[in-house]
A and B are shown apart, each in its own frame.
Chain A
Amino acid sequence: MVEAVKRALNRISVEQIKLELLGTAYNSSSTFLGRLDPRMLLIWYLFFAVTPWFVYNRTILLGMFVFMVVTTVLSRVSPYIVFILCLGLVSQIGWMFLLSLFFGGGAESLLPMLTLTLKLSVISLASITVFSSLDPERLSDGLSALGVPDAFAFSLSYGYRILPTLLEEFHQILLSFRLRGQRPLKHGFLYMRTAAYYLRILVLVFYPLMLNTAKRSRTTVEALETRGYTYAVNNPQVKKLRLSYLVMQRRDWLFAAFSAVYVGLLFPLGTVFPNLIY
């Protein structure tokens, strides 16, 4: 297993991670869901993030799950993200199951746990769908329209702006450490030495990065001042103007209506066939 980790580490270069991250963060607005009204999508998400907790009918949950899978496919989420998600779910539930076997449970404890998995999947897929579909501006405007504080909305879009710069700088400093450093000559027990070397560098990189970012933040905040940010914060009119482009269109209503009808049909179905799957 350690071998596998090592091989994976060798193959994953910072450059690739960077690309993957950027791809995930920025390649979104072209999808169907990305064009929908962010406020509607956020409310839609809120529904699918909350209701599964209160539903124990497996048929309904499965129906929701199918719907979520469809929307996930529609939003063209990076397979890597889905993989990470599945891994997380499986390992969490898996260990719980094994341990409960140890404490005297049986195969029957798998069933409630499967339900839990189903719930968690619906919730996670809903959030993946929505948050990877919305591009940063629309997301921050959507949140802002729903009453989230402006500072958060601004930070969000600033985050999208600054991420590539930060990654680039991180990469450069990491490279400096490696170019001038010395990797342990022996890997040590279970590759401990090598792992320790890399983790140590990873931590150390943040020392220069903190100082450089501090310099950067100073100019940024100063520039914000000259660009009227403070003025905007103190004028509610500005927010209204900024959000005035958000209008519910036909496709938004259609999507909302379809979701409502679908979920509305699920419930009677679930009541009639509560044990459709198991």
Chain B
Amino acid sequence: MDKVALELKNVSFTYPGAEVPVLQEVSFSLKKGDFVAVIGSNGSGKSTLCKCFNGLIPHYYTGDFEGEVMLLGESAEGKSVSELSRHIGYVYQDFENQLVRPTVMDDVCFTPLNYGLLDYRERGMRALELTGLHGMGREFIWQLSGGQKHLLALAGALAMDPDILVIDEPVAQLDPQHARQIYDILRRLNEQHGKTVVVIEHHAEFIAEYCRTVVLMDAGRLRWQKPVREALSSVDELLSLSIYPPDVTRAAWLLQPDRQTAAVYPLSSEEGQRCFTRRLSLSDIQETLAQPQIKDLHSTPSEVKPVVEMEHIRLSYRTIHKTLHPVLNGISLELFSGERVALIGNNGAGKSSLMKLIAGITAPTGGTVKVKGITVNGLPPERLAGIASYVFQNPEDMFIDDSVRGEIAYYLKARGLKDKDERVEAMLEAFRLQELAGRDARLLSGGQQRRVSLAIGAAVRPVVMLLDEPTANLDISTKQEMTRVLQALRGHVETVVIATHDMALVAEWASRIIVMSEGRILADGNKEEIFSDGQLLRRAGLAETQLMEMSRLLELPQICCSLEEFVARSEWRKEELVHGGSR
């Protein structure tokens, strides 16, 4: 256990042309068989650090490099990326671009074949086996789902049977079920096959559950390397770097009477159950929880005319095998003005398809879709814009101009609207983009790109705005910011629909939740109705947030959606102490 797999000694690196080094005197040693999470805010040098492992830095990215890298006890100096990559498998954050062959089998064999290993087929098969992709060897890569592609990228790295696996944000694009699946695989690789695993990860809950050691990067420096419990219990420090420990941990930190002591906090719901208890004196909560009761609009449809009407909608796609693949099976739905609708369900449940139907981008195979009484199916896209606007999951697909201002103004200019300048300014202000107005949207950070894409959608002043996974690929602090940005949409749009599997977002934002699975609507209701039914979420392939789980476990009167709410409703169980030490 104590053998060192990889060691960095005083490594500094500066990208060519850059003033400030991205890595400053980083020393770090990776123990064999460890499961490490690298955390840090955006731009802290996490990815750069990991690219030092296999020599991409300094061989591929040439720049000023100082220090020494030792791999398995040997100096990496003078070794090429190819040589080092035999021992280190790397899975990129945009893993799709690392799949370079047309079929699954070819791709997984690609690396061992390149190294001239005679048993490349067996290696490929074994890697597919390990990742649960066996039997898919003949599939074309574009036929795979996002989760399967990620598994394939992992399999491609595993085929070399590397000692070290580096995975950059393994779950960023996955729904909770698939995310868990990939982590379970990583754990198996770590525990049963002795692989050293390094992940760059934002999701503290996964770190808490799966990792053993945490490395914190801050502004190019390695601040510390600690066992996971100790690491995540440094709530103050992490929050100051916009890194969010698990909700349970934060709740404990908030409720712990004595914060000064170097305490360790609970990390998971089960541990939390032992530490918290239901707050009995409810009198003082009443005012803190004086939330405005949202009027349940869909219970009184007779009064209001719906904004969106869908009746018995069916949708199937033609596949290249000339067969029909059903996506939506008879959906009837009415959406009303002022609603904040969350469409939830796992990947492939039909959420995006449903939204594309409302936006008129795809036409249903059967049934009609009406928005404000206008039948949208069959309209050319140019006519749809003022009615519904659809914000793609990948913001880059929406960027067609060369500046943020240009992106927002494009629609207004095309229509020659008189008030276009004011409208653009208003949007820039509402989404806090004034300072970025002249920049190219493609070069912005993930969160900024999202804001631009929302501003583009809102500038149209549509009746309905449809957002596909607005928080995908964002780190937690940016996610929290998104929730606030979404509030900015009010006043510009009548109805907002979000397709997501980010339960925290749903819990904080939505007024109505529609659960979808396999092209059908499983449930439709408000937060309480949906979240109190734990089975329902699981059936839809979704996971509860920690707070929801805790609320259930502590038998709180209501499922809590925000940390504040939870803290108000529960208290610290004094007699219980957390057992310290790493797991």
- A88: Cβ under 8 A from any B Cβ: no
A8-28 interface code vs B (CB 8 A; 1 in, 0 out):
000000000001001100110
- B458: Cβ under 8 A from any A Cβ: no
**A226 contacts B410, CB within 8 Å?**
no
- B445: Cβ under 8 A from any A Cβ: no
Bound-state CA distance A109–B127 (Å) is 65
Q: Which of A172, A177, A211, A222 meets B60, CB within 8 Å?
A: A222
**Nearest A residue to B397 by beta-carbon distance?**
A172
- A249: Cβ under 8 A from any B Cβ: no
**A228 contacts B101, CB within 8 Å?**
no
With A173-B397, A180-B456, A208-B400 as known contacts, state yes or no: A231 contacts B82, CB within 8 Å.
yes
**B92 contacts A180, CB within 8 Å?**
no
- A257: Cβ under 8 A from any B Cβ: no
| Complex contacts, B80 vs chain A, CB 8 Å | 230-231
Bound-state CA distance A169–B97 (Å) is 13
| Complex contacts, B402 vs chain A, CB 8 Å | 207
**A180 contacts B140, CB within 8 Å?**
no
Interface centre among A175, A178, A227 (most CB of B within 10 A): A227
**B320 contacts A177, CB within 8 Å?**
no
With A137-B103, A212-B442, A219-B94 as known contacts, state yes or no: A165 contacts B142, CB within 8 Å.
yes
- A38: Cβ under 8 A from any B Cβ: no
- B85: Cβ under 8 A from any A Cβ: yes
**B115 contacts A173, CB within 8 Å?**
no
Q: Which of A178, A207, A230 meets B382, CB within 8 Å?
A: A178
**A220 contacts B100, CB within 8 Å?**
yes
**A158 contacts B100, CB within 8 Å?**
yes
With A180-B411, A183-B382 as known contacts, state yes or no: A228 contacts B397, CB within 8 Å.
no
- A199: Cβ under 8 A from any B Cβ: no
Bound-state CA distance A207–B401 (Å) is 8
**A227 contacts B110, CB within 8 Å?**
yes
| Complex contacts, B81 vs chain A, CB 8 Å | 225-226, 230
Within 8 A of A (CB), among B78-100: 80-83, 85-86, 88, 90, 92, 94, 96-100
**B116 contacts A238, CB within 8 Å?**
yes
With A27-B320, A211-B442 as known contacts, state yes or no: A161 contacts B97, CB within 8 Å.
no
Bound-state CA distance A169–B118 (Å) is 37
- A182: Cβ under 8 A from any B Cβ: yes
- A91: Cβ under 8 A from any B Cβ: no
**B102 contacts A180, CB within 8 Å?**
no
| Complex contacts, B442 vs chain A, CB 8 Å | 208, 211-212, 215
| Complex contacts, B361 vs chain A, CB 8 Å | 175, 179
- B240: Cβ under 8 A from any A Cβ: no
Bound-state CA distance A95–B114 (Å) is 52
**A231 contacts B96, CB within 8 Å?**
no
Instruction: Write the nearest CB–CB distance from B95 to chain A, whole angstroms.
Output: 9
Bound-state CA distance A172–B395 (Å) is 10
With A223-B97, A231-B114, A241-B116 as known contacts, state yes or no: A180 contacts B410, CB within 8 Å.
yes
**A179 contacts B114, CB within 8 Å?**
no
**B100 contacts A161, CB within 8 Å?**
yes
- B156: Cβ under 8 A from any A Cβ: yes
Instruction: Write the nearest CB–CB distance from B365 to chain A, whole angstroms.
Output: 13
**A164 contacts B98, CB within 8 Å?**
no
- A224: Cβ under 8 A from any B Cβ: yes
**B82 contacts A225, CB within 8 Å?**
yes
Q: Name which of B196-204, B224-232, B266-274, B383-391 contacts chain A.
A: B383-391
The 3 A-B residue pairs with the shortest CB-CB distance in the complex, in nearest-first order: A228-B114, A164-B142, A223-B98
Q: 23 A-B contacts, Cβ less than 8 Å apart?
A: A19-B318, A27-B320, A136-B102, A137-B106, A157-B100, A172-B394, A176-B398, A179-B390, A180-B385, A180-B410, A180-B456, A181-B411, A182-B382, A208-B396, A220-B97, A222-B56, A223-B92, A226-B85, A226-B88, A228-B82, A229-B114, A237-B116, A238-B113
Q: A19-B319, A26-B140, A215-B442 are in contact. List 20 more A-B contacts (CB 8 A).
A: A160-B102, A165-B96, A165-B142, A169-B397, A175-B361, A175-B381, A177-B400, A182-B382, A223-B98, A225-B82, A226-B56, A226-B88, A226-B98, A227-B110, A228-B111, A228-B114, A230-B81, A230-B82, A231-B114, A242-B113
Q: Which B residues fall within an 8 A CB radius of A?
A: 54, 56, 60, 80-83, 85-86, 88, 90, 92, 94, 96-103, 106-107, 110-111, 113-116, 118, 120, 140-142, 156, 318-322, 361, 380-382, 384-385, 389-390, 392, 394, 396-400, 402, 410-411, 414-415, 442, 456, 460
Q: Which A residues fall within an 8 A CB radius of B?
A: 19, 22-23, 26-27, 135-137, 157-158, 160-161, 164-165, 169, 172-173, 175-183, 204-205, 207-208, 211-212, 215-216, 219-220, 222-232, 235, 237-238, 241-242
